[in-house]
Structure 1
């Protein structure tokens, strides 16, 4: 009996302690849950704010992504020909300046010059400067500058050198592609620069600014005109080749000299000319001596007459 009584109070005490522990645990759980709820609420607010911000950024990102995709698709659509071009590159146009100089001996300079003019005109070119000289012996020489399309250059050159005996030929080819590209790029930049200055002039409201901008515009337009002139010069030199043709009548002159070699008739004519010249000089000498001879003869006659009359 005593054992049972002692066990019951102990069991009751343990029960009270467990109840108190459970009560304390419940209070702490409520406080912890309230703290956790507050933290969760704050976290939800922050998340909602960040979600709102991220939603704006997300929309922007989506738009950027969409534009990037569309740009990428457009780029891929545009790069497909580029890929084909890289696979089979298309050669660009080369800008070549072609010049040549020909010296040809011909039998008839005038006839050969007419033939050269005809060949150049049929090729779509034109005749430039022309100079003709003739020396004291009648030797004629003509120098003419011919401009022909670049694609007909070789054919015209072959035709010209076949007009007679080729004495000298020189030809040059200069690649000016880099110069053409550089000038074109500078012209585009200069035009954009001129447009910017004009836009500034339209917004200028002070006299000093207008005067300064007018001076700058004039300078830039002058530079643009210079570049345009250089572009035109390069276009002319690359589209038309230049051939300097020298025609000489040396062969004809030599033939004429051979035909003029002296013969028998020339010798007779030369001898007669010498005879006439000698007779002429003798006549002149006789004419000069005749007065003295007449006076001397008269003196001789007078001396003889006087000698016969003198007493012996």
Structure 2
């Protein structure tokens, strides 16, 4: 008869081969699953690589030695205000002005302002403001410098791209706001709402017109450059032999000095004439009025003189005294 202990031992012995077999089957199944997943990953990677290669049409060409084609990034057009100032010395101002006007008009520009003056020596000086397209700015500037001898040049460029973009964006928003107010006015039924919306519409339309004016000004200044040209006549120098003064030059210089001296004397007399006239008037008043009155006043009231000292008695001599005694 088997005891319980012996039965338990026999059960444990029979369970060991079963466990071993189950572990072996589990390990084999895990190995097969890892191989299949690795194969799937390799196939997926190959498919992705093939798809990426198919998406790059120039990949095969690059492998064959062809250069890759790259597109340059599109940049926003810049808005630049260009201004310049030139001072040129010329022999003939009128001729140089005509040449400058022709240069500007040939480039598609125009003359904005012009003024001409003449100095004390008779030399003309002309100032003209030219507006030319920005694309022809450098060409026109070089042509204007060739009209004579360049004395002074200044140039300035200001980038206002941000300002242009900001104004354009504000105009777009303001137009949308005006359209919304108009839509609300069409839907309004009360008179008070209509009046309020009309006032708001007028205010927003005024803001829109101001922004449009700024946009037009920026467009004008960025599309057309401003060049200020100053033309002055070249002074005529005398020949070397004429520099030595002669008798006629000395006579002319002496006469000029004499006339200048007379002019200064006349100016001095003219400046002193009011004072001389005033002094003469005061002297005349003194002689005709004040002095005669003082003379008549002295005759009417004579001055009294103080009495002098009394005469003193002379001493009697001694001889006379003795004769009186006798």
Fold shared per TM-score above 0.5: yes
The two structures have a TM-score, normalised by structure 2, of 0.53
- Aligned-pair CA distance for 1:133: 1.3
- Aligned-pair CA distance for 1:104: 0.6
Identify which range, 254-263 or 172-181, moves more after superposition: 254-263
- Aligned-pair CA distance for 1:254: 3.8
Identify which range, 261-270 or 238-247, moves more after superposition: 261-270
The two structures have a TM-score, normalised by structure 1, of 0.56
Is 1:215 paired with 2:206? no
C-alpha distance 205-256 of structure 1, shift in aligned 2 (>3 A):
farther
Structure 1 residues 124-145: Cα deviation after superposition (integer angstroms, max 9, x where no partner): 0000111111122212211110
- Aligned-pair CA distance for 1:262: 6.6
Distance in structure 1 (CA, Å) of the matches to 2:109 and 2:253: 58
Report what 1:109 is aligned to. Answer: 93
Is 1:255 paired with 2:237? yes
Distance in structure 2 (CA, Å) of the matches to 1:177 and 1:151: 17
Report what 1:141 is aligned to. Answer: 125
Report what 2:55 is aligned to. Answer: none
Task: Judging by fraction of residues, say which structure has more helix.
Answer: 1
Report what 2:170 is aligned to. Answer: 186
Q: How does 1:263-274 map to 2 (within 5 A)?
A: 264=246, 266-267=248-249, 270=252
Among 151, 160, 163, the residue aligned to 1:167: 151
Distance in structure 1 (CA, Å) of the matches to 2:204 and 2:241: 69
Distance in structure 2 (CA, Å) of the matches to 1:166 and 1:190: 49
Distance in structure 2 (CA, Å) of the matches to 1:129 and 1:118: 15
Is 1:98 paired with 2:47? no
- Aligned-pair CA distance for 1:273: 7.6
- Aligned-pair CA distance for 1:88: 3.2
Report what 2:323 is aligned to. Answer: none
Distance in structure 2 (CA, Å) of the matches to 1:93 and 1:194: 29
C-alpha distance 257-232 of structure 1, shift in aligned 2 (>3 A):
farther
Q: Find runs of 4+ consecutive structure 1 residues off by over 4 angstroms.
A: 256-265, 267-274
Report what 2:226 is aligned to. Answer: 242
- Aligned-pair CA distance for 1:264: 4.6
Is 1:203 paired with 2:171? no
- Aligned-pair CA distance for 1:159: 0.8
Distance in structure 1 (CA, Å) of the matches to 2:156 and 2:193: 52
What residue ranges of structure 1 are gaps of 5+ in the alignment? Answer: 1-85, 278-312
Distance in structure 2 (CA, Å) of the matches to 1:271 and 1:155: 51
Distance in structure 2 (CA, Å) of the matches to 1:189 and 1:219: 14
Is 1:158 paired with 2:142? yes
- Aligned-pair CA distance for 1:266: 3.4
- Aligned-pair CA distance for 1:91: 2.0
Distance in structure 1 (CA, Å) of the matches to 2:240 and 2:104: 35
How many aligned residue pairs are there? Answer: 188
Q: How does 1:125-136 map to 2 (within 5 A)?
A: 125-136=109-120
